[in-house]
């Protein structure tokens, strides 16, 4: 029973990678940079995005895709707090987005007017890591309340990350979280990952993260 | 591409439900009660389980299954802090356990000696909700740092729950979390769910949760 699924899934992952590479090339040619944001539920993705978009929107023309199983609270919140166009993508129960789903979602924008696409993926540390979305950069969030051991338990998510933001730093006193240990656990997965401890709520460390993103976008 | 997966998945879910019903019946006949614990990564599942198991072990002979993509920190921690037999189940990358995987895992125990099985499922609010494990009771945790809107975004997880523990109540002052709103959001999904706000670390509210579990087990 499980074997059948594994086989179908492997074929699907190969097809998805090809589609993702095509989409990435297409966007690159059009001068569009695409950031995929991944994390657990409730790790502070939307709060950080509001903060970052309000900085980035002065330099870039942004389109935001908010992926969720259900609901549309995030797309509405992003649009209300930043003014940038934001669409809600429902995954019909799926725990991830495929590159094809992303391409379909992008077609809702007038892509000629956009040069920075941001996807807030489904809140999940497992499935979204397996499906390349076609993004140029994977930004992964890990919040203080989740614990410093998560890179050991969800290895693939940290292997595919380019930048990890350790979020909700303002809550550090309330939790038993060792930043150095966490950094080591992250670098066990991928030693090139840049790690930025931040508090989007208190606007601490976001400057450094913003500058790191700009460097990636302009590379 | 997506369609093929949806079809395979639907067949798989039907097969899994049948297997889960068989497993549940088999355990019931043997006098074994089976609790499935589900939540996001870092919501405090292991900390709560250590606390609960140290109460339950006086009345029951317990076996614990710790499911993770990778690592064995949880099984080791549970055994070290409670003394009960605890096995680590790796899902080979999958975001959930099937009833078959659970049955295979149970065979590692000497089931004659056990009358309470506890499964700590993969940290994930999406996939584990779709796959009936054969459990008699689904205990779902939602931690204060995750936010009170999660039942709106991950509806199925809260539909299949029998009991929801709102965890890390000691961190409430650090977060913008409305307990009444959360309770309403949970009851929108399933009005029969019992909700218990707790702090396993400070041992607050755990008595009430423990008594609720006993009532379910003895029903």
Contacts of A175 in chain B (CB under 8 A): 171
Count the domains in chain A. 1
Report the predicted TM-score, pTM, of the whole model to 2 decimal places: 0.86
Say what the pLDDT of residue B6 is: 52
Contact B153 A71 (CB under 8 A): yes
pLDDT value at residue A12: 80
Residue A171 lies in a domain: yes
Report the length, in residues, of chain B. 219
A58 occurs within a structural domain: yes
pLDDT at residue A131, rounded to an integer:
93
Helices (H), B83-169: 99-106, 127-130, 150-153, 155-159
Q: Under the phi-then-psi rule, with left for phi > 0, alpha for psi from -120 to 50, and beta for the rest, what region is A14?
A: alpha
Q: Give the count of beta carbons closer than 10 Å to the beta carbon of residue A73.
A: 15
* Residues B79-124 pLDDT 10s: 999 999 999 988 877 788 899 999 999 998 887 889 999 999 999 9
Residue A8: predicted pLDDT:
61
CATH number at residue A197: 3.40.50.300
Q: Is B172 on the interface with A (CB under 8 A)?
A: no
Domain annotation covers residue A6 = no
Q: Of A10, A15, A41, which to mutate for an interface test with B (greatest number of B Cβ within 10 Å)?
A: A41
Q: Of residues A54 and A174, which shows the higher confidence score? A: A54
Residues of B in contact with A71 (CB under 8 A): 149, 152-153
**Domain assignment of residue A162, yes or no:** yes
Determine which of A2-6, A84-88, A202-206, B192-196 has the lowest per-residue pLDDT on average: A2-6
In a domain, B104, yes or no: yes
Q: Which of A:25-54 have CB within 8 Å of B?
A: 40-42
Question: Above 90 in pLDDT, residue B68?
Answer: no
In a domain, B2, yes or no: no
The residue ranking higher by pLDDT, A1 or A67, is A67
The pLDDT of residue A9: 65
Say whether B125 and A41 touch across the interface (CB within 8 A): yes
Facing residue for B42 by CB, picked from A6, A150, A171:
A150
Helix, strand or coil, per DSSP, at residue B69? coil
Write out pLDDT tens, residues B167-191: 999 999 989 999 999 999 999 999 9
Q: Tell me what the mean pLDDT of segment A157-177 comes to.
A: 96
Residue A96's pLDDT is what?
Answer: 86
Angular region, A141: left φ>0, alpha ψ -120 to 50, beta rest: beta
**pLDDT tens profile B183-217:** 999 999 999 999 999 999 999 999 999 999 999 99
Q: Which comes out higher in pLDDT, residue B71 or B18? A: B18
Give residue A109's pLDDT band: very low, low, confident or very high (50, 70, 90).
confident
Task: Tell me what the pLDDT averaged over chain B comes to.
Answer: 91
Q: Is A30 among the domain residues?
A: yes
ipTM at complex level: 0.76
- Residue A23 belongs to what domain range? 11-217
A1 within a domain of the structure (yes/no): no
pLDDT score recorded for residue B7: 58
Q: Distance between CA atoms of A8 and A3, rounded to whole angstroms?
A: 9
- Per-residue pLDDT at A6: 52
State whether residue A204 is helix, strand or coil: strand
């Amino acid at each position: 029973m499980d074997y059948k699924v594994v086989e179908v899934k492997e074929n699907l992952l190969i097809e998805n990678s090809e589609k993702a590479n095509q989409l990435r090339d297409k966007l690159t040619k059009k001068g569009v940079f695409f950031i995929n944001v991944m994390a657990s539920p409730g790790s502070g993705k939307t709060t950080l995005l509001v903060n970052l978009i309000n900085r980035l929107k002065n330099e870039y023309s942004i389109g935001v895709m908010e992926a969720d199983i259900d609901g549309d609270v995030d797309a509405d919140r992003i649009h209300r707090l930043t003014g940038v166009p934001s669409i809600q993508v429902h995954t019909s129960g799926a725990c991830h987005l495929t590159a094809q789903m992303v391409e379909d979602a992008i077609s809702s924008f007038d892509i000629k007017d956009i040069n920075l696409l941001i996807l807030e993926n489904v809140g999940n540390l497992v499935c979204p890591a397996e499906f390349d979305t076609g993004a140029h950069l994977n930004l992964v969030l890990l919040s203080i309340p989740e614990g410093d051991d998560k890179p050991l338990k969800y290895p693939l998510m940290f292997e595919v990350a380019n930048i990890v933001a350790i979020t909700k730093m303002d809550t550090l006193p309330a939790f038993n979280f060792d930043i150095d240990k966490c950094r080591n656990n992250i670098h066990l997965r991928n030693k090139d990952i840049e790690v930025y401890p931040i508090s989007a709520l208190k606007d601490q460390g976001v400057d450094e993260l913003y500058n790191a993103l700009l460097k990636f976008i302009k590379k």
